[in-house]
Amino acid sequence: MKHCLITGGAGFIGSHLAERLIAKGNRVTVVDDLTTGRRENLDAIQDHPNFQLRVGSITDPVLLNDVVIGVDVIYHLAAAVGVKLVADNPVKTIETNIYPTELLLRLAALGGQRFFLASTSEVYGKNPKERWTEEDDLHFGSTSRPRWAYGCSKAIDEFLALAYQRKLGLQMVIGRFFNVVGPRQVGDYGMVVPRFVDQALDGGPVIVYDDGGQERCFAHVSDVVECIIKLTESDITVGGVFNIGSDQPVSILSLANKVIEKIDPSIETQFIPYREAYAEDFEDVRRRVPDTTRLESAIAMKPGRSLDDILSDIIRWKRELREQGKT
């Protein structure tokens, strides 16, 4: 049995990771301040003897020093969440993403823990390539555009993690997430799939930003969690950076149409400009598609669940919540 610490473990991805680690026979401690994470995400394991929830902020150094004691593996998932939150509060984004990460890396280097750093496709910025590989250059926009604060801050996290690995031998691996979706994800912070599903279940319209020509790849959270665990447990991945996501692109308009088709084909689509959804200075990325060659080579798998299957799973979950009066 390993003792695993998950920061942000009451969140969407973190809660699924916690469940999977418990199921594999590990002991799990979750740290979450429950601002974007939810206690009910952990309902399935909250009474398990190998599970503990510590409610508190990762910006609290006393708490972090305390929770790493006796831990074997650290999964650092806590971060500012979602495009809307980042655009609305870049200061919180930077503070939440950088300072706690540096402290956790230092503690892990001193304590000898394995370390998984959750990063993001946002670090690629506006890279114009058709598919992004882990060694590609980062292309951020102007500092006057708060939209890039998230990607820049996570890139600094990566630089820090790699520096600790090279200088102090930290056993760490970095995973860059590409549009992870599934049950428990909410649309409050700009997440497109749960937002589309909620709008369709409400009778529409399904609201598409800009022209809907943006291309994204959507991976089911269960696939992503398996990749996280395999990457962290492997010796050959230490010091590596890996894209984690589906490599099958779909336009946002096509995504909206798929959701509508599954729920009610009579629902209408409505288009609104970015300035109405976010702000006048908002800037988006037209295409975001990962190359997963490195991931497949390292762990012999990649997220592969089909979009139709993913959407059906999310719609089923949303309908169950509505039947239970929880949304």
Q: Is 32 left (phi over 0), alpha (psi -120 to 50) or beta?
A: beta
Residue 233 tokens, joined: 């447990």
- Beta strands 206-209 and 180-181 are unpaired
pLDDT of amino acid 92:
79
pLDDT of amino acid 144:
84
pLDDT of amino acid 315:
98
The answer to whether 130 and 289 have CB atoms below 8 angstroms apart is yes
pLDDT along the chain (327 residues), means of 10: 97 97 98 94 98 96 97 94 68 86 97 97 94 96 85 94 97 97 85 95 96 97 98 98 98 98 98 84 88 98 97 97 86
pLDDT of amino acid 272:
95
Active-site positions read: 150
**3-class secondary-structure state, position 125:** strand
Distance between CA 210 and CA 252 in Å, rounded? 10
Residue 209, amino acid: Y
pLDDT of amino acid 310:
98
Instruction: Collect all residues with Cβ–Cβ distance below 8 Å to 278 and sequence separation of at least 6.
Output: 83, 84, 87, 147
pLDDT of amino acid 84:
64
Domains and CATH numbers, the chain: 3-181+218-247+287-304 (3.40.50.720)
pLDDT of amino acid 326:
79
pLDDT of amino acid 181:
97
Distance between CA 1 and CA 32 in Å, rounded? 23
Helix, strand, coil percentages for the chain (3-state, nearest 5)? 45, 20, 40
